[in-house]
Amino acid sequence: MRKIFGIGSVVLVLILIVFVWWRYYFVFGEGVKAGNLNFVVSKGYVFKTWEGRVIQTGFKSDAPGTIQSNEFNFSIANDSIARVLERNNGKTVELRYKEYLHAIPWRGNSNYIVTEILHISEDRNQ
């Protein structure tokens, strides 16, 4: 009986580890977004994280008959990337990001984590 309990405990712990990894650390998708950088801020009570928003061209509509700007809300894990973006508010940026299934407090408030700045330009046409 003791052996079965021990094996069951090990299997349960392994299942829990795989579940936590899949839910919070598995990279669901990667991509590039471009648009006008609206803001970059550092915020949080316990975990200070960098959060930002890019306004993309065009409009999106979740409900029929409504118009909403196409916004990309993201978190930034790297302080040096956040500092560069912070100095370039209002400019057009291209950002590479990773998408996770769920956010965790010390990584940021968003499922989207910016990992690289591909391009920064003054004008939308560049």
Under the banding of pLDDT at 50, 70 and 90, the label for residue 80 is very high
Higher pLDDT, 11 or 68: 11
Token pair 């968003």 is found at 110
Higher pLDDT, 81 or 70: 81
CA distance 47 to 37: 23
Q: Is the pLDDT of residue 62 over 90?
A: no
Domains annotated for the chain, with CATH where assigned, are 28-121 (2.40.50.140)
Give burial (CB, 10 Å; 0-12/13-18/19+) of 40: buried
CA distance 24 to 102: 5
Q: What is the mean pLDDT of the chain?
A: 89
- pTM of the shown model: 0.78
- The whole-number average pLDDT for the span 70-95 is 93
